[in-house]
Amino acid sequence: MKDARITQFAEILVDYSTRVKKGDVVLINAAGLEALPLVKELHALCLKRGAAYVEYAFSVPEIDCNFYNLANKQQLEHFPQHKLDFFKTLTVYIGIAAGDNSMVMANARQQAMVAYQKLTRPLVDQRVKHTRWVVTRYPTHAAAQEAKMSLDEYEDYLFSACCIDWHAESKKQAKLKKLIDKTKEVRIVAPDTDLAFSIDGLPGIKCDGRLNMPDGEVFTAPVRDSVQGHITYNCPSIYQGKEFNGVRFEFKDGRIVKASADAGMSGALNKILDTDEGARYIGEFSLGINPGIRRPMRNILFDEKIFGSIHFTPGQAYDECDNGNRSAVHWDLVRILADGEIWFDGVLIQKKGVFVHKELLELNP
């Protein structure tokens, strides 16, 4: 039987997030075949809204893994110009992840993955800079297992985090953006975490359901060389097919000078940070504020939005809030602050994961 929530979800993605209209050229790109029910709904809605052309594509992560393991140097260096040519015609991009194994890339050749990510960066830049885009997740048994839920529980969790009044959330986020815009110095204090950095001159950016779904954060970036201190992240993170826990960074003048992780993963962690010079600097600082996301799910699209969390991201800065950092890496690592504090210019704004600043109380669930 058709789940009415899928139709509601599709309507949010088409009508709110990407605002599909007459004449648009749309690509619906699904990684994983289980996303078919949502792809069908999206395809139909885009046609009904008058899109001139709607392309849909499915990719299979297991085949991508084979490519990284089997491709020779010439194959890894062959740029898919035909894809870029097509991407230049797009006005809307909808990306859906529906993988049936989050660890499928665990044994893929990391060097090949990094090289191909660098090569194909123009595809990402084209869709990010020149389309109305959104990326999301579709509930699968694998994702539910990662979140330690049944599929029914995971579906309820996903739809409750996504199918909310984003117009109202956007108005609430405006208050946090306004405070960030006038803040110069930030300090974050928690067990084994004490960070200080400047955000002077860097704007707050609302994330209110336009680009990610689920959404629910307001981000900025530190002045690149200003970060001092250390942070220990307390959410698991899956990156390049490997799981990292207990990631700890020490900073000096903005640069990560020491990095470690639990379970013998420090070597793999440092290899990622050595991808390029910018990978050891921070490109994003963000506060998670989705009221429906309260605990880690080992899925970054959800975890970075956990209410009462921050993510402090090594790598590439976003164009909307550009601190000058450039990298092939952008790794959103999450610290839940249920045991911490956030200070803006010496004023406590959040304590134990709850906003205490009078201008931000409306954001609390």
Extents of the domains making up the chain: 4-162, 167-363
Structure tokens at 169: 């959330």
Asked whether 165 and 290 are in contact (CB, 8 A), the reply is no
What pLDDT score was predicted for residue 1? 65
Per-residue CA distances from 335 to 264, 282, 361 (Å): 20, 15, 21
- What are the two backbone dihedrals, phi and then psi, of residue 138, each rounded to the nearest 5 degrees? -115, 135
Rounded distance between C-alpha atoms, residue 247 and residue 235, angstroms: 9
Q: What is the pLDDT of residue 99?
A: 81
Q: From CA 107, how far away is CA 353, in angstroms rounded?
A: 36
Regions of the chain with pLDDT less than 70? 1
Q: Domain spanning 4-162 has what CATH number?
A: 3.40.1830.10
Q: Which residues contact 304 (CB under 8 A, 6 or more apart)?
A: 217, 286, 288, 311, 332, 334
Q: Round to whole Å and give the CA distance between 198 and 187.
A: 9
In this prediction the pTM is 0.82
Report how far residue 188's alpha carbon sits from residue 350's, in angstroms, rounded to the nearest whole number. Answer: 10
Q: At what angle do helices 4-11 and 36-48 cross, to 10 degrees?
A: 50
d(CA 313, CA 319) in angstroms, rounded, equals 15
Check residue 359 and give its pLDDT.
Answer: 94
Res 343: pLDDT? 98
Read off the DSSP letter of residue 17: I
Residue 278 φ/ψ, nearest 5 degrees: -70, -15
Residue with tokens 């665990």: 106
Q: Quick one: what percent of the chain has pLDDT higher than 70? A: 100
- Evaluated on CA atoms 74, 77, 83, 88, the torsion sign reads negative
